[in-house]
Amino acid sequence: MTEQEKLERQSKRTRMILIAVSVLFIFLMLVVPLAAIVVNSLKEGFGFYIQAITTEYVRNALKVTLIATIIAVVVNTFFGICAAWLLTKFSFKGKQVLATLIDIPFSISPVIVGLAFLMTFGRLGWTYPAIRAINQWLGTNFRIAFAIPGVVIATIFVTFPYVSREIIPVLNAQGKDEEEAAALMGAKGLKIFFKITFPQIKWALIYGIILCTSRALGEFGAVNALSKTRGETFTLPLEIDALYMSGTDVSITSAFAVSSILVIIAIIIMVVRNILEHRSNKKMEKGEA
């Protein structure tokens, strides 16, 4: 009995310590920098704040950012599920190489990503003669680099593996016995996926989509290389950079104000996810009871 009490006290103490460490870490590393942004954004008063986030430039940048983010999330979710299915349910030659290639965008410097797209679609790139020929033939002025398509592709690139990376560990931990059993019983591919696999990966998928969205919203380096015109192809991070680089006291405050839009979007996403999680937990409890 005393042994157990001691253990319980011990585990309570670990609990306290771990919670304290977590709270402290998040507070110092994440909350304070964000607080600094908010404090800075309100330095010139609330009226100025509203004015700063509703300029023509900011509205346009918000539109471009949302377009790029939505397309990137849809494309990468589709891709992520396909890739995770392929990599966890089958064995084949070159699997590890393929898995690694998918992860490449995680670690590539955004500077190189920008360079890579310019060497492909830019004026020095090898597809440029073809693009130019098509434009001359059609009488259009369609561009990939330094236009919206380039921004979208770069955003897809940097967020490419986020969804698959979140799902793969869960599917690996799960094994594939259930799917195999279902397949042997004659179930079709989509049915197996939605009835067996999907429920298991649901949370991982949502985490993946959230990571993907957050990363797409905040992407700076790669898009920076491919998007040069303010008010046209600028995303919010580029607009923030432009404001910050203006260097005056007022424009730096504006830069922080625009940054706070991204923080607000991130907070909205976080709240939505929590509601979803909460609801489904309730449902599950009811279903099991």
Partner 1 sequence: MRQIHRLHKKNHNRIQITTVCRKIGIMSMCTILALSASGCGKKNQILTLTNVSYDPTREFYEEYNQLFAKQYEETHGEPIRVIQSHGGSGAQARSVVEGSNADVVTLALEHDISLIEHTGLIESGWVDEFDKDSAPYTSTIVFLVRKGNPKNIRDWNDLIQDNVDVITPDPKSSGGACWNYLAALSYAQEQYHDASKEQDFLKKLYENVSVMDSGARGSTTTFVENGKGDVLVAWENEAITTMQSYPGMYEMITPSVSILAQPSVAIVDDNVGMNHTQDAAKEYLTYLYSTDAQKLAAQFGYRPTDEAVLQEYANVFDLHVKLTTIDDFGGWDNAYAVYFDDGALFDKMYNE
Partner 2 sequence: MKKNTKTTRVIPGFHLTLGITIAMLSLIVLIPLASVMVKSLQLSPAEFWRLITKKNVLYAFGTSIVCSFIAAVINLVFGLILAWTLVRYDFKGKRILDGFIELPFALPTAVAGITLSKLYSETGWFGKPLAALGIKVAYTHLGLIIALVFVGIPFVVRAVQPVLEKLDGQYEEAAYILGATPAQTFFKVILPELRPALLTGFGLAFARGIGEYGSVIYISGNSAKEHTQVISYVIMQKLNYIDYASATAIAFVMLVISFVILFLINIVQMRQSRRTNML
Binding site for partner 1 (CB under 8 A): 63, 67, 70-71, 74, 77, 118, 121-125, 128, 141, 143, 145-146, 148, 178, 181-182, 185, 194-196, 198-199, 202, 225, 228-232, 242, 245-250, 252, 283-284, 287
Give the 3-state secondary structure percentages of the chain, helix then strand then coil, rounded to 5: 80, 0, 20
**Do residues 201 and 93 make contact, with C-beta atoms less than 8 angstroms apart?**
no
User: SS3 of 55, please?
Assistant: coil
Cα–Cα distances in angstroms (integers) from residue 45 to residues 56, 148, 208, 246, 248, in the given order: 20, 34, 37, 20, 16
Q: Between residues 100 and 248, which has the closer beta carbon with respect to partner 1?
A: 248
**Do residues 226 and 146 make contact, with C-beta atoms less than 8 angstroms apart?**
yes
Q: What one-character DSSP code corresponds to residue 145?
A: T
Q: Is 276 in the site for partner 2 (CB under 8 A)?
A: no
Query: Looking at 42-50, 54-62, 130-138, 211-219, which segment touches partner 2 (CB under 8 A)?
Result: 211-219
- Shortest distance (Å) from residue 95 CB to partner 1: 27
- Shortest distance (Å) from residue 6 CB to partner 1: 39
Q: Is 66 in the site for partner 2 (CB under 8 A)?
A: no
From the list partner 2, partner 1, none, pick the one residue 158 interacts with, judged by a Cβ distance below 5 to 8 Å according to partner type.
none
Report helix angle 56-89 to 162-174, nearest 10: 30
Which one among 58, 146, 215, 227 touches partner 2, defined by CB under 8 A?
215
From the list partner 1, partner 2, none, pick the one residue 247 interacts with, judged by a Cβ distance below 5 to 8 Å according to partner type.
partner 1
What is the x/- site pattern for partner 2, positions 224-263, by CB under 8 A? ------------xx--xx--x----------xx--x--xx
Which one among 1, 5, 56, 91 touches partner 2, defined by CB under 8 A?
91
Q: What angle do CA 224, 73, 267 make, to 5 degrees?
A: 85
C-alpha span between 112 and 154 (Å, rounded): 11
Among positions 142-181, residues that touch partner 2 (CB under 8 A) are 153, 156-157, 160, 165-166, 168-170, 172-176, 179-180
Q: What burial letters (b/e) apply to 37-56, b meaning 16+ CB within 10 Å?
A: beebbeebeeebbeebbeee
What is the x/- site pattern for partner 2, positions 9-38, by CB under 8 A? -xx--xx--xx-xxx-xx-xxxxxxx-xx-
**Do residues 56 and 231 make contact, with C-beta atoms less than 8 angstroms apart?**
yes
**Do residues 83 and 102 make contact, with C-beta atoms less than 8 angstroms apart?**
yes
Q: Is 270 in the site for partner 2 (CB under 8 A)?
A: yes
Q: Between residues 58 and 102, which has the closer beta carbon with respect to partner 2?
A: 102
